[in-house]
Chain A
Amino acid sequence: MGVPERQQIQPKRKAKPRWLLHLFPLPALILYTLFVIYPILSAFTYSMYEWKGIARGAFVGLQNFLTLFQVEPFNKLFWNAFGHNVIYFLVEMVVQNGIAFVLAFLIYRKIRGAGFLKAAYFMPRLLSVIVVGFLWKLILNPNYGALNTLLGKLGLEEWAKPWLGDPDTALLAIILVNCWFGIGFAVLIFLAGLQSIPEELIEAARLDGAKGLTMLSRIILPLVMPSLTIMTIFTFIQAFEAFELVYAMQGSMGEPFHSTDTLAVYFYRLAFSGSGGAGDVSIGLGSALAVVLFFIVASVSALSLKAMRKREVQH
């Protein structure tokens, strides 16, 4: 009732020029445009030029993309790394998010020490990825590392391996380290999803006789779908941007024998270290790879967000 009155008074009192207001978003807008949007858009144009070192040459259209996908060794390196990114995503989905969901569910169903559990799972996430990588490199060291020593103490000597030196285990070892790092965050996301389910819904389902697995698969899972979707997107983006951990543990070549190479590591090599597989630093090829990666990440996250919106509206 008082509100309309106020609105009548307001214009008379306002002496300050209104245009000043439009300056409010300006600092954020300028910084964001200059250092986030402009570089990404530039990567698109860079990918269509020939480059000699850091000097831009002639416009070559899609030539860099063709080279990336059709010329050896670039195409082989691309698909090799792409495959590793896919494995990265799948293993994280199953191991990290699978275990995290179970842990979140246990906390949700009341367990003693819930606060401590959450904090403990979350702890690794506080470390810099480079610290995580170096720490685990020491733990996984074949001769003096804690893991092989532990296996020896448990009488499992034959399980001991040069984890990071063997092309069969290196990629998996890195991904599992990544799971160790990320599991606490996933627990928190899932737990938030579980706790947002209205208590009455669970109660009603219980009265209708739902319990155990039926309750989980028919009632709870559909209701926590938004948090599952969010976590899937996060995991996907993170898996396809995987760089730091691989770089810290296996160097920019994705040792041994490119068995841990990922698209982002390959991109780094092409653009900065001049050993993209053959020849010199190639900003053109590197930018083309960045554009491809950009489309993979952006399209998948946009699609899953859209799918999530739809599902949310329906229930």
Chain B
Amino acid sequence: MKAGIGRRSLQYLFAYVFVLVALYPIVLMVSSSLKSNAEIFTSPLALPKTFGLDTYRKLWEVVPFADFLLNSIMVSVTSVLLITVTSSMAAFYLARFSHKWTGLLYFYFLIGLMVPVKLGIVPLFLLMKKLGLLNSLWSLILIYTASGIPISVFILTGFFRTLPVELEEAARIDGCSHFQVFWRVLLPLIRPALGTVVIITFIQAWNDFFFPLIFIQDEALKTIPVGMMVLFGEYETDWSLLFAGLTLSALPMIAVFLLASRQFMEGLTAGAGK
């Protein structure tokens, strides 16, 4: 019995030590952002003595953070919209109509799950240049949309297949066109799967730093992650400011997560099968 209690507390210790490991660096980031530089350097671990938001005011002045934020929102929201519309249309077709080529087409989309898109970056760069999209938010929107399509088609096709066909047949007898069946009947039904797709692709677009690093030169067009590079390049020694920048970058996603943590965790693992 005693051994049981001993083992049990060891399990709890292990589990909660890793909570500390996971959360402490994030807490440190936020608390350091509220300190002065002197305080960070003399007592990096202590909680801030005063809650000063001066650093944030300064951050707002030295880098165009509002621009970064706006660009990030613009890029992520537009890509997610395009992904959900195009992928659900493709998935509807793949799940409901069997022609010679639907199997092949499905497989073609799935290839994208295994192909690291970043390896095509040189041709992609030249393609964007040719299209005149370098240094434009559209270069990011297009690449996030295209690279989000395979996982979304995969998830949505699987979900469409679980819906009973009778529903559509009934709607069609009532005189609905294919488009109406899709739009009025099926789309509302696949909302849970759409939620998953939205979460996966939104995080992808919001956090990415590779593509803007290569496509975007103009400071006013940078998204938050590359904006951080500007900050770290120019204010290397102002740690208070750096921590504030990191905190502000992380905040929107953490806030959304706290509101819907279950959907987040379920959504992100849903792509990984069972």
Among A16, A37, A139, which residue has its beta carbon within 8 angstroms of that of B28? A139
Cβ-based interface call for B117 (8 A): yes
Q: Are B18 and A119 in contact (CB under 8 A)?
A: no
Task: Count chain A CB atoms within 10 A of each CB in B11, B14, B25, B169 and give the residue with the most.
Answer: B25
Among B11, B41, B145, B210, which residue has its beta carbon within 8 angstroms of that of A106? B11
B115: A residues at CB distance < 8 A: 36-37, 40, 294, 298
Q: Are A21 and B173 in contact (CB under 8 A)?
A: no
Cβ-based interface call for A254 (8 A): no
Among A27, A102, A120, which residue has its beta carbon within 8 angstroms of that of B19? A120
In angstroms, Cα B179 to Cα A32, docked, is: 22
Stretch at the interface among A74-82, A84-92, A180-188, A213-221: A180-188
Cβ-based interface call for B86 (8 A): yes
With A16-B178, A297-B114 as known contacts, state yes or no: A243 contacts B210, CB within 8 Å: yes
B208: A residues at CB distance < 8 A: 128
Task: Count chain B CB atoms within 10 A of each CB in A32, A124, A293 and give the residue with the most.
Answer: A32
A161: B residues at CB distance < 8 A: none
Q: Are A106 and B15 in contact (CB under 8 A)?
A: yes
Stretch at the interface among A3-11, A60-68, A165-173, A202-210: A3-11
In angstroms, Cα B157 to Cα A81, docked, is: 39
| A219: min CB distance to chain B, Å | 18
In angstroms, Cα B124 to Cα A237, docked, is: 21
- Chain B, range 149-206, C-beta contacts under 8 Å to A: 149-150, 153, 166, 169-170, 172-173, 175, 177-179, 182, 203, 206
A interface residues with partner B (beta carbon < 8 Å): 3, 6-7, 9-10, 13-14, 16, 20-22, 24-25, 27-29, 31-32, 34-40, 42-43, 46, 54, 99, 102-103, 106-107, 111-112, 115-131, 134-136, 138-139, 144-146, 149-150, 153, 180, 183-185, 188-189, 192-193, 196, 226-227, 230, 234, 237, 241, 243-244, 248, 264, 267, 271-272, 283, 286-287, 290-291, 293-294, 297-298, 301-302
B interface residues with partner A (beta carbon < 8 Å): 11-12, 14-16, 18-19, 21-23, 25-26, 28-29, 32, 40-41, 44-45, 82, 85-87, 89-90, 92-94, 97, 105, 109, 111-112, 114-124, 126-127, 142-143, 145-147, 149-150, 153, 166, 169-170, 172-173, 175, 177-179, 182, 203, 206-210, 214, 224-226, 228-229, 232, 239, 242-243, 246, 249-250, 253-254, 257, 261-262, 264-265, 268-269, 272-274
Query: What are 17 pairs between A and B in contact, CB < 8 Å?
Result: A6-B173, A7-B169, A21-B93, A36-B147, A37-B112, A38-B120, A38-B127, A42-B120, A117-B15, A122-B257, A129-B207, A135-B29, A139-B25, A153-B45, A184-B22, A244-B209, A290-B120
